[in-house]
Amino acid sequence: MPIHYKQLEFCMKQLATITVIGRDKTGVIARVTNVLFEQGANIEALEEQVTRGQFSMVIQASWKAARWVPREVERALEKAGRELGMEIRLRPSAPKGAQRFAILVTKEPHCLEALLREIKAGRIQAKPALILGNRPALKAIATAHGIPFKLVPWEDRAKAEAAALRILEAEGVDFLVLARFMKILSPNFVWRFKNKIINIHPSLLPSFPGPQAYRQAYERGVKIAGVTAHFVTMQLDEGPIIAQGSFPVRPNMGLPEIMAAGQKLEAKVLIRAVRLYLQKRLDVYWGVVKEV
Q: Which residues are catalytic?
A: 237
Residues 6+ apart with CB under 8 A from 286: none
101 phi and psi, to 5 degrees? -140, 160
Q: What is the rounded distance in angstroms from the CA atom of residue 241 to the CA atom of residue 283?
A: 11
Element (H, E) at 100: strand 100-105
Q: What is the rounded distance in angstroms from the CA atom of residue 208 to the CA atom of residue 216?
A: 6
Cis peptide before 70 (omega within 30 of 0): no
- CA–chain centroid gap for 56, Å, is 17
Residue 122 region by backbone torsions, left for phi larger than 0, else alpha for psi between -120 and 50, else beta: left
Task: Report which of 108, 107, 111, 102 is spatially closest to residue 267, judged by C-alpha positions.
Answer: 111
CA distances from 69 to 75, 111, 227 (A): 10, 39, 43
Residues 6+ apart with CB under 8 A from 290: 282, 283, 284
Q: Give the CA count within 13 Å in the CB-facing half-sphere of 16.
A: 24
